[in-house]
Structure 1
Amino acid sequence: MFKTIFYLVLSLLIVALLVTLAYFGYQWHQERKVLQQIVERLSADSRIAEVLVTKSRYNEASGKLETTIKFLEYDASGKPLEPRYFTFQGNIIQFQSLVIRFKDEFVNAGDSLRGKSIYLFLRAFVLDEKNAQVFNITEMNGIPKGYKIPNVKSDFERKLWEEFWTLALDPKAREREGIKNAQIEAPGSIFLPGTIYTLQIEHDGGIRIDTEPVPEILKDELQK
């Protein structure tokens, strides 16, 4: 009888130990998954535009390299907008952008609205010794192309975008909505033929420019 009770208690202790180990193992696994997701969100990015040099020639009149670029912006769903073409005297080109970063807790949690930085391209420009060559992409206080609802004239839509600019520029509004900071950035590069320049928005940061060679299959097309 005593031996039976002993083995029963021992069995229960072993089962309890296994359950405890399984629980802590599961908890450790879940915490590891959460940590991995947080790291992924903090290091994640999204493609927001691509730039390609379509023409590059020496302009004897200005004594400078004349550069024409194709600027292809992508909307929030990753669909390309209508491309734009800009021609500059020079090839060190920058893109002035408004970038709004949200507080880390929203990025960590993958918040559906505030889980990654948001942005608007404002201008493409080249600076030289005497002046600046500037092309507007989005007007201040306006509705950006690609975000305007087609064939609809709406005061409500206009007010929504006015509120966006308020959030960007008003410190009290930023604090209320969980915005870490809003600032103007101007990432740039030397733009040369034969390279695709990809602008990426980092979910917890700003805009960076990545480069890769143009695929061989497209090189002949660009030279036409």
Structure 2
Amino acid sequence: MKRVKLFTTLVLIFIVVFALQGLFRRYLNERKVLKQVIQRLQADSRVAEVLVTGVNYDEDKKKLFTTIKFLEYGIDRKPLEPKYFTFSGNIIQFQSLVIRFNDDYVRDADALRGKSIFLFWKVFILDGADTQEYEITKVKEIPEGYKIEGLSSPFEKKLWRQFWKYALDPKQGSQPGIKNAQLEAPGTMFIPGIIYTIKIEHDGGLRIDPAVIPEVLKGEKIIK
């Protein structure tokens, strides 16, 4: 009987120790993921470049179609995968999404809430019933520019699900600690021969700055 009790006690101790080790490993892993997420929130802006790659007139629809290339840069200034969008028109708007936390969190360097989170969300043309819209960043997903490379972490996904709740749920967005969830959507006429730099500033402003393509590049096919 004593041996049975001793064996049972040892088994219970083993289970408890094993469970605690699992919790500790999970804690360390989540801390590591959190640190990497915070590092990705250190940047004070998000930058993308846009170029008109095609202008075509559809005789049947009697419409002019404009294709643009959208190239966003990550926190390390490396280019992400380019995206292409085609619109019937060329007055195109880009929408940013920004969440800013109260100054107390920023001043105290609170782990996540001490940062502003900002991203490119949508690109669209307003045209009444014929409004055209594309998602740059899909709702409830981790934005490309913030994703930890080579990692599939439930904890990382959980953090970003909470971000989307703050951004899109008025009740969540009005919680103490959140200054505001802000949308901005400036637009301009996109024409060939111009490089448009789109920048989300740390204070939430969204700018579109046009610059003429250098003469030396015009008409040339760039060799990679």
**Fold-level match, TM-score > 0.5?**
yes
Q: Do the aligned partners of residues 85 and 171 (structure 1) sit closer, same or farther apart at CA in structure 2, a change above 3 Å counting?
A: closer
Classify the secondary structure of the residue corresponding to 2:144.
Answer: coil
The equivalent residue for 1:206 is 205
1:16-165 to 2 correspondences below 5 Å: 46-103=45-102, 117-165=116-164
Deviation at 1:111, TM superposition (A): 5.7
Cα displacement string for residues 145-170 of structure 1 (whole angstroms, at most 9, x for unaligned residues)? 23333443321121011121133245
Is the contact between residue 194 and residue 214 of structure 1 (CA under 8 Å) also seen in structure 2? Answer: yes
Rg larger in structure: 1
Is the contact between residue 57 and residue 63 of structure 2 (CA under 8 Å) also seen in structure 1? Answer: yes
Taking the aligned partners of 2:154 and 2:187, their CA distance within structure 1 comes to 35
The equivalent residue for 1:30 is none
Q: Do the aligned partners of residues 116 and 130 (structure 1) sit closer, same or farther apart at CA in structure 2, a change above 3 Å counting?
A: same
The equivalent residue for 1:189 is 188
The equivalent residue for 2:36 is none
Is the contact between residue 119 and residue 200 of structure 2 (CA under 8 Å) also seen in structure 1? Answer: no
Taking the aligned partners of 1:175 and 1:163, their CA distance within structure 2 comes to 14
Taking the aligned partners of 2:129 and 2:170, their CA distance within structure 1 comes to 35
Deviation at 1:192, TM superposition (A): 0.5
Q: Which amino acid aligns with 1:168?
A: A
Deviation at 1:176, TM superposition (A): 6.1
The equivalent residue for 1:219 is 218
Aligned sequence identity (%): 61
Cα displacement string for residues 71-103 of structure 1 (whole angstroms, at most 9, x for unaligned residues)? 001122322111111111110111222122344
CA RMSD of aligned residues (A): 3.0
Taking the aligned partners of 2:57 and 2:114, their CA distance within structure 1 comes to 45
Taking the aligned partners of 1:148 and 1:140, their CA distance within structure 2 comes to 14
Deviation at 1:137, TM superposition (A): 1.5
The alignment's TM-score, normalised by the length of structure 2, stands at 0.67
Deviation at 1:47, TM superposition (A): 5.0
Taking the aligned partners of 1:222 and 1:124, their CA distance within structure 2 comes to 27
Taking the aligned partners of 2:47 and 2:213, their CA distance within structure 1 comes to 18
Is the contact between residue 182 and residue 204 of structure 2 (CA under 8 Å) also seen in structure 1? Answer: no
Is the contact between residue 123 and residue 134 of structure 2 (CA under 8 Å) also seen in structure 1? Answer: yes
Deviation at 1:177, TM superposition (A): 7.0
Cα displacement string for residues 108-134 of structure 1 (whole angstroms, at most 9, x for unaligned residues)? x69696677431222222222432222
Q: Which amino acid aligns with 1:80?
A: P
Q: Which runs of 5+ in 1 are unaligned?
A: 1-44
Cα displacement string for residues 23-75 of structure 1 (whole angstroms, at most 9, x for unaligned residues)? xxxxxxxxxxxxxxxxxxxxxx7351111111123222222221111100112
Query: How many correspondences in the alignment?
Result: 179
The equivalent residue for 2:12 is none
